Amino acid sequence: MYNRAVEFLRDTDGAVTVDWVVLTGSIVTITLLLLSDMTSGVDIAAKNIPDRAVGVANSIKTINY
């Protein structure tokens, strides 16, 4: 039984697969965290577009008249 346990611990078959699964999972998690953080900033910027457009239009009117 001890020999089988030692043999199992020394066996490296599948180690690369485990590495890729962990690496891919980490990349996906980091990407999701970054995207969730960016969406709030994008929402705020999108809500400010009409106000800024009106401000630019008013400043153009002031310059032309």
Q: State which amino acid sits at residue 27.
A: I
Distance in angstroms (rounded) separating the CA atoms of residues 34 and 36: 5
**Residue 52: which domain range?**
2-64
Average pLDDT over residues 40-63: 82
Tell me what pLDDT residue 25 has.
96
Provide, for the chain, the percentages of residues in helix, strand and coil under a 3-state DSSP scheme, each rounded to the nearest 5.
90, 0, 10
Tell me what pLDDT residue 46 has.
85
Distance in angstroms (rounded) separating the CA atoms of residues 35 and 46: 16
Tell me what pLDDT residue 64 has.
62
Average pLDDT over residues 32-45: 84
How many domains is the chain partitioned into structurally? 1
- In 1-65, DSSP assigns E strands to none
Average pLDDT over residues 30-56: 86
| pTM: predicted TM-score of the whole model, two decimal places | 0.49
